Amino acid sequence: MSILGEDDGFDVILSDMDMLPMSGADLYRALVEHHPALSERVVFVTGGGASKDQRDFLIGTRRPTISKPFRPEELTGAISAIVRSG
């Protein structure tokens, strides 16, 4: 998170839902609170085995989500959509 305080010029933030030491949901919530503009640039990546709570969270964010394994065009499509909207 500290790098976001130093540079908020990221075009896209790819966030796995199952990261350490902070989950993708925790990262997103911190972005909403501290860097709201960056929260609009998040694309979530999941392993496909998301819990009900994770699925509900992802639906609620309305952010693009791609499941692993994904095809390159899925990733580039999600990134392109974010870049075009910003």
* Residue reference for tokens 């949901």: 25
Phi and psi, residue 23, nearest 5°: -75, 165
**DSSP structural state of residue 40:** T
Q: What is the reported pTM?
A: 0.86
pLDDT of residue 85: 83
* Residue reference for tokens 């085995």: 49
Going residue by residue through the chain, which has 86 residues, state the pLDDT in tens, using 9 for 90 and above: 566 666 667 899 999 998 888 899 999 999 999 889 899 999 999 986 778 888 899 999 999 999 989 999 999 999 999 988 86
* Alpha carbon 1 to its chain's center: 13
pLDDT of residue 5: 61
pLDDT of residue 56: 92
* Domains recognised in the chain with CATH numbers: 2-85 (3.40.50.2300)
Residues 17, 25 contacting (CB under 8 angstroms)? yes
Calculate the dihedral angle through the C-alpha atoms of 42, 60, 78, 66, rounding to the nearest 10 degrees: 100
